[in-house]
Amino acid sequence: MSTALQGLYRPRTLDEATALLAQDPEAKPLSGGATLVAMLNARVIEPAALVSLADIDEIKGISQLPDGRIRIGAFTRHRETATCALDLGSQAVVRHAASQIANATVRNMGTIGGSISFADPGLDYPPALVAAGATIELAGSGGRRSVSAAAFFVDWYLTALEPGELVSAVILPAPDRGAGVYIKHARVAGDYATASVAACLVPDGAMRVAVGACGPTPLRSDEADALLAGDKSDAAIARAGELLVELADPLDDVRGSADYRRRLIPRLLLRAVRSAEAALQERSFS
Ligand SMILES: Cc1cc2nc3c(=O)[nH]c(=O)nc-3n(C[C@H](O)[C@H](O)[C@H](O)COP(=O)(O)OP(=O)(O)OC[C@H]3O[C@@H](n4cnc5c(N)ncnc54)[C@H](O)[C@@H]3O)c2cc1C
């Protein structure tokens, strides 16, 4: 039977944290607090208990697993991801996205786990993680499981997290010899994206692209990727852009109208493909 918690809890292990959340499903996990504290201040939410993840070492930092994949612990601040010195190949799209989040203050505070759990459609990580083919590790009192980034983002502000579950890590595929870029269009520097495109390019020419802020979840099209793998002419990019626009379901909001967002997609895609090609070429000279 669940017992209501009150106050601030500071577990030191993931198991302790998930046990607390199982005890009281109304308790809220607290990571960097960049969004949660603003919501508390605005009284949008008023949880009786917070479970801080700040003392759990096993979900901090970036490391390379024995099989070559990259593990980013959920409590890794955006600044650390943005300055990661590992050779990430095309997964560098995630580092590039992290470097464009808000401003230095927010990057020093926010974490990757808190960001993707909130799942605001204007966030920078979701399209980058989907393009990178990342996997999200989840932990609950009943055990651990993994879902693809594409399956993790379910709808506007809705993820695959079950009540009481936490994001424990983001896993990137083992780095290849490719290049990854994230192109963001925002009203002003430091704002959330009006629209964005993440692109991963590998030396054989294969591409994976994903669009952010133009629907409830990142947009992906196998057909667009296949087209770009064989042809990176302006005409092919325009056609791939059309395919992605067909999938779009953008909001009309203060950051831009739905029509404006649709128009941005092919333009940002062109910039993303050309930037990825340039980054790959630079890599081949280094
Ligand atoms: C002024 C401002 C500007 C911003 N601009 C941008 C931007 O340009 N681009 C961008 O991408 N982001 C932006 N953000 C969002 C920011 O980058 C953080 O990602 C975001 O605030 C959440 O991260 P956090 O670690 O602070 O999470 P918190 O604020 O601590 O938590 C956010 C939510 O996730 C839940 N939660 C936290 N950790 C976990 C976990 N491990 N598992 C499950 N649930 C969890 C919390 O209960 C809460 O509901 C901005 C935020 C602010 C305040």
* Partner residues linked to 64 by β-bridges: 70
The residue contributing the CA closest to ligand 1 atom 19 is 115
Q: Is residue 237 part of a domain?
A: yes
Give the mean model confidence (pLDDT) for residues 14-31: 94
Task: Identify whether residues 137 and 189 lie together within a single domain.
Answer: no
Q: Is residue 263 packed enough to be buried (19+ CB in 10 Å), middle (13-18) or exposed (0-12)?
A: middle
Which residues constitute the domain of residue 164? 57-172
- DSSP calls for the chain: ------EEE--SSHHHHHHHHHH-TT-EEESS-TTHHHHHHTTS---SEEEE-TT-GGG-SEEE-TTS-EEEETT-BHHHHHT--S--GGGHHHHHHHHTSS-HHHHHH-BHHHHHHH--TT-SHHHHHHHHT-EEEEEETTEEEEEEHHHHEEETTEESPPTT-EEEEEEEPPP-S-EEEEEEE-SSTTSPPSEEEEEEE-TTS-EEEEEESSSSS-B--HHHHHHHHH--SHHHHHHHHHHHHHH-----BTTB-HHHHHHHHHHHHHHHHHHHHHHHHHHHH-
CB of 96 within 8 A of CB of 105?
Answer: no
The residue contributing the CA closest to ligand 1 atom 47 is 29
- 121 CA to centre of ligand 1 in angstroms: 12
Residues with CB under 6 A from ligand 1: 28-36, 38, 53, 74, 78, 101-102, 106, 109-111, 113-115, 117-118, 123-125, 161, 166-167, 192
Give the mean model confidence (pLDDT) for residues 171-192: 96
Number of domains observed in the structure of the chain: 3
The 10s digit of each residue's pLDDT in 85-106 is: 999 999 999 999 999 999 999 9
Task: Identify whether residues 90 and 143 lie together within a single domain.
Answer: yes
Q: Which is the closest atom of ligand 1 to the Cα of 191?
A: 8
Rounded to whole angstroms, the Cα distance separating 149 from 171 reads 9
Say which CATH number the domain at 250 has. 3.30.390.50
The 10s digit of each residue's pLDDT in 47-86 is: 989 999 999 999 999 999 999 999 999 999 999 999 999 9
Q: Is residue 148 part of a domain?
A: yes
- What count of residues does the chain have? 286
Last residue of a domain, one of 117, 140, 172: 172
Task: Identify whether residues 69 and 158 lie together within a single domain.
Answer: yes
Last residue of a domain, one of 172, 207, 228: 172
Last residue of a domain, one of 172, 193, 214: 172
Position 3 scores a pLDDT of 77
Q: Which is the closest atom of ligand 1 to the Cα of 34?
A: 26
- The confidence band for 1, taking pLDDT boundaries of 50, 70 and 90, is low
Task: Identify whether residues 236 and 155 lie together within a single domain.
Answer: no
- 119 CA to centre of ligand 1 in angstroms: 9
Say which CATH number the domain at 113 has. 3.30.465.10
The 10s digit of each residue's pLDDT in 116-147 is: 999 999 999 999 999 999 999 999 999 999 99
The 10s digit of each residue's pLDDT in 26-50 is: 899 999 999 999 999 999 998 989 9
> Residues with Cβ < 8 Å from 46, sequence gap 6 or more?
40
Position 89 scores a pLDDT of 97
Phi-psi category of residue 264: left, alpha or beta, with phi > 0 → left and psi -120 to 50 → alpha: alpha
Task: Please tell me the least confidently modeled range out of 9-13, 24-28, 115-119.
Answer: 24-28
Q: Is residue 286 part of a domain?
A: no
- The confidence band for 2, taking pLDDT boundaries of 50, 70 and 90, is low
Q: Is residue 177 part of a domain?
A: no
Task: Identify whether residues 154 and 127 lie together within a single domain.
Answer: yes
Position 119 scores a pLDDT of 93
- 35 CA to centre of ligand 1 in angstroms: 5
Cα 210 to its chain centre, rounded Å, is: 11
Say which CATH number the domain at 20 has. 3.30.43.10
Task: Identify whether residues 135 and 209 lie together within a single domain.
Answer: no
